[in-house]
Structure 1
Amino acid sequence: MTTTTPVSLPRWARLPINRCNLPAAILGGLTFQRAPIPLELDGVAQFHRGLFELLDRLDNAKERAQAFMMHMDASFFLGQPEQAGYTADATLDRSRADYLRMVRGWAFDADGREGAVMKGWVESRFGLLQRYHGGPIRDFSDDSYRRYLEMRSAGLYGTNALEAQLDLLYTYCQYELARAHPGKTHLTLYRGVNRMDDHETLAQLDDKRRVVLLNSLSSFTANRERADEFGDYLLTAEVPLSKIAYYTKLLPGMLRGEEEYAVIGGLYEVSLAAW
């Protein structure tokens, strides 16, 4: 990543405020991709300090995952919906719309209702606007943008602090990545695509490298051969650990795919190969 091309995250791709320790203009830029630092969501680690103190004492990753899921259940009454205010005679039962359902729904259909919730969470917490949801989103009057807003609202309606659940999931993911990859700042990840037009290119560096603006949340894999199955073009990116929202092996049974990573968007310098 040695390009000197002056490319910055456009204003139309970000919000002026967010809920983490860096503004979107910085965390979504190329400088951050080259030299990332940890991203912290406002107050999450402090509020759940007891959980992370417990995790520090556990050497086994499976035990830590179990402790995390138990903490989620206790904090948000996921196993006791009546304690969270749900009633048996409710017209619409959203008690099962938890963080695991959102993650699985996004993996099944990134352009569905759960996908809209996940992309909206990235927008709210990191200030990065989505660029695609069932179609390109280029301004706030697009039909695609209206559909996205409708899906996001429907996905959040009647849920139990759903975005706060996702906050804690991200914070736990960052904790586990730091323990699994001590001293590392990046992972080399791959994404197979059929149409490069679906990825906005902001700069062409040479025949094989370009700067692209990724959607607010995108699926990558650590398995190059697996990525080849999903398109005629292969994108390779050095992804900062701090821009990984979650991944397949984080929790048991969370995702069906192998070595899949949910990557937070912004500008990325990528290499491109055609198959």
Structure 2
Amino acid sequence: MSDETDNEKAGEPAPVAQRVYRAGMVRVSPAFLGSTAFNASPEPLHISGTREQHAALFGRLEETRSADDAATLFQDYMAETFGISPDFRGAPGADGRQRFRSSYLRLLKGWMFCSNRAEGAVLKGWAESRFGLLPTYHAEPLKRLASEAWTNYAEQKLSTRFQNNMIHEQLDLLFEFCQWSLARPGAGLPDAGCAHLTLYRGVNDFEEHHIVGRCDSRAAGRRTVILRLNNLVSFTNDRNIACQFGDHILEARVPCVKLVFFRDLLPRYPFQGEGEYLVIGGDYLVTSSIL
């Protein structure tokens, strides 16, 4: 592996400075979690206290017979616990008027429309607080904490419109339900309990993804690089879909323990159009090819 820095010659942005971390809540150091070494040999990830606090839910999940039954139970539990309406609007107050309540469903919907709006900032902020990885991009590169770009991101992630109704706890439960589902037969993955998935992402340039290392060999227009991905990033399991989003196709082996959401997790809602997989980022060894 080389650490080439002749980026003008390569036509690519310079590698970013050493990553800064926050304290996480998954009992794995953020430095290790964000490394290619973790991706090669992943360890289980659990957000401290979530399953214990909601033990009744996970106990009932163990009694379900199918992935659809489990998803229905999970969504009914979320609706009851957090007052989430299935039509994304919130729940009626004591006076009968509709009250806006932030929900994991609304954030997922907003992310899939555009990950660089307020909903995306809230999700990236949650990933920052739980896994200790700071975002690298939100509408523009986030190169320094003391910058206008970071201030804009921070204002959006702390927006009172979405920072209510225990939204981080909702996202904690979504992650834990996703991880619980991955080990179950019929979860929509090739093999229950598999360690990695091969996923794809289409990009037009590397403004959002920082190259931090390269392999020495190239073959047939493909090359392997280490990319520093955003702390939360979308992939798809369909290469043809990735081709619709950019001329450069990134192929990565993603640890299943880093999945926050995948397309078949919540079959009741229309989140499956692009085969979306929402993944915790960090440094990834990826194969890049040009269409």
TM-score by length of 2: 0.84
- For residues 112-141 of structure 1, give each alpha carbon's deviation from its aligned partner in whole angstroms, at most 9, with x where no partner exists: 000000000000000000000010000012
Aligned to 1:178: 183
Match of 2:277 in 1: 261
- Match of residue 119, structure 1, among 116, 124, 128: 124
Deviations along 1:83-121, one digit per CA (max 9) or x if unpaired, are xxx66599x9532x2110011101111000000000000
Contact kept, 8 Å, 1:100 with 1:254, in 2: the verdict is no
Q: Distance in 2 between matches of 1:187 and 1:32?
A: 15
Structure 1 SS opposite 2:60: helix
Q: Tell me the secondary structure at the aligned position of residue 46 of structure 2.
A: coil
Aligned pairs (5 A) from 1:227-266: 227-251=242-266, 252-266=268-282
- The structure with the greater share of residues assigned to helix is 1
**What is the alpha-carbon distance in structure 1 between the residues aligned to residue 140 and residue 152 of structure 2?**
10
Instruction: Look up the match of 2:44.
Output: 38
How far, CA to CA, are the matches of 2:171 and 2:162 in structure 1?
15
- Tell me the residue number matched to 2:19: 12
Larger CA deviation: 252-261 vs 217-226: 252-261
Moved over 4 A (4+): 79-82, 86-90, 155-158
Of stretches 27-36 and 153-162 in structure 1, the one that deviates more from structure 2 is 153-162
Q: Which residue of 2 aligns with 1:131?
A: 136
Q: Secondary structure at the match of 1:165?
A: helix
Change (3 A) 1:88 1:193: farther
Distance in 1 (alpha carbons) for counterparts of 2:160 and 2:211: 31
1 CA distance for matches of 2:270 and 2:160?
19
CA deviation after TM superposition for structure 1 residue 143, in Å? 1.6
Higher alpha-carbon deviation: 202-211 or 113-122: 202-211
Shift of 1:52: 1.4
Q: 1:118 to 1:224 in 2, by over 3 A?
A: same
Secondary structure at the aligned position of 2:164 is classed as coil
Q: CA deviation at 1:249?
A: 1.4
1:150-161 → structure 2 map (5 Å cutoff): 150-154=155-159, 159-161=164-166
- SS across alignment from 1:196: coil
- Residue identity over aligned pairs, in percent, reads 36
Are 2:87 and 1:72 equivalent residues in the alignment?
no
Q: Gapped runs of 5+ residues in structure 1?
A: none
Structure 1 residue 11 displacement after superposition: 5.0
1:39 is displaced (CA, Å) by 0.2
- The more displaced of 27-36 and 48-57 is 48-57
Paired with 1:101 and 1:167, the residues of 2 have a C-alpha distance of 15
With normalisation by structure 1, the TM-score equals 0.89
Question: How many residues were matched structurally?
Answer: 264
Tell me how far 1:257 sits from its aligned partner: 2.4
Q: Distance in 2 between matches of 1:187 and 1:127?
A: 23
1:61 equivalent in alignment to 2:61: no
Q: Aligned to 1:192, which of 176, 198, 202? A: 202
| 1:222 aligned onto 2:237 | yes
Correspondence for 1:169: 174
Q: Quick one: distance in 1 between partners of 2:2 and 2:207?
A: 24
Distance 1:158 1:267 in 2: 29
Query: Contact 2:182 / 2:193 at 8 angstroms: preserved in 1?
Result: no
1:99 is aligned to 2:104:
yes
| Distance (Å, rounded) in 1 between the aligned partners of 2:284 and 2:269 | 30
8 Å contact 1:217–1:264 — kept in the other structure?
Answer: yes
